[in-house]
A and B are shown apart, each in its own frame.
Chain A
Amino acid sequence: SQKIEQNSEALNIQEGKTATLTCNYTNYSPAYLQWYRQDPGRGPVFLLLIRENEKEKRKERLKVTFDTTLKQSLFHITASQPADSATYLCALDMRGNNRLAFGKGNQVVVIP
């Protein structure tokens, strides 16, 4: 069966350190992968999109990698700040038609 796995345990990290989140998938062959941020009780906000032929994408303090051989994406927040505390969702786009399959999300708590 198809699965998108994100760590169910919250990641607690000290301010200033790098937070790294993992998104693993099975029985999917995504053309694109997206990362979103969701705060409690609010809608997700788009962060980054990476294509299957791209290894890495950066935006300010954020970095995403995409390894189609390992079927894995890593999401990094460098120099983390308390304001980065949120749940981060990965989403797969199989055909590039914007029909997304979402993981359950991984909570990040940045400790001042």
Chain B
Amino acid sequence: DGGITQSPKYLFRKEGQNVTLSCEQNLNHDAMYWYRQDPGQGLRLIYYSQIVNDFQKGDIAEGYSVSREKKESFPLTVTSAQKNPTAFYLCASSTGTRRAYEQYFGPGTRLTVT
């Protein structure tokens, strides 16, 4: 059963702590993405990766970090430097980036920082 998994579904952290969100795909996709969604807002791109060991900043990368050591995995770390980390985080993947492809999204992780 192919798809994207994100874990956990809900995550609670205290302010000042770093937290890592997991994203795994078994679709054999080259490209992976992280988005943030706030209530009543569109998805905003945090980071994306077109290939293993390479990634680029999106529109709101400050306070976040990523790694892409394996094709299947693209974890996102929300650092204590992120001023407003409470949000719904979505991971996505696509076949590639050389032309337009549909993006497949995971179920999301809702992060609450207090």
A interface residues with partner B (beta carbon < 8 Å): 4, 8, 31-32, 34, 41-46, 49, 51, 89, 91, 93, 96-105
Contact = CB atoms under 8 A, between A and B. Distances in A.
- Chain B facing A: main interface SS: loop
Contacts of B92: 43
Interface of B: 4, 31, 35, 40-45, 48, 58, 90, 92, 94, 96-108, 110
B108 A46 contact: no
Counting chain A CB atoms within 10 Å of each CB, which of B42, B92, B98, B107 scores highest?
B42
Contacts of A32: 100
Contacts of B104: 46
Contacts, number: 65
Please list the 10 inter-chain residue pairs (A to B) with the smallest Cβ-Cβ separation, ordered nearest first.
A43-B105, A46-B102, A32-B100, A102-B42, A102-B43, A98-B97, A104-B42, A97-B97, A96-B100, A96-B99
Nearest to A4: B42
Contacts of B108: 41-43
28 contacts: A31-B100, A34-B100, A34-B102, A41-B110, A42-B107, A43-B107, A44-B43, A44-B90, A44-B105, A45-B105, A46-B103, A49-B102, A51-B100, A89-B42, A96-B99, A97-B97, A97-B98, A98-B99, A98-B103, A99-B45, A99-B48, A100-B45, A100-B103, A101-B45, A102-B35, A102-B43, A103-B42, A104-B42
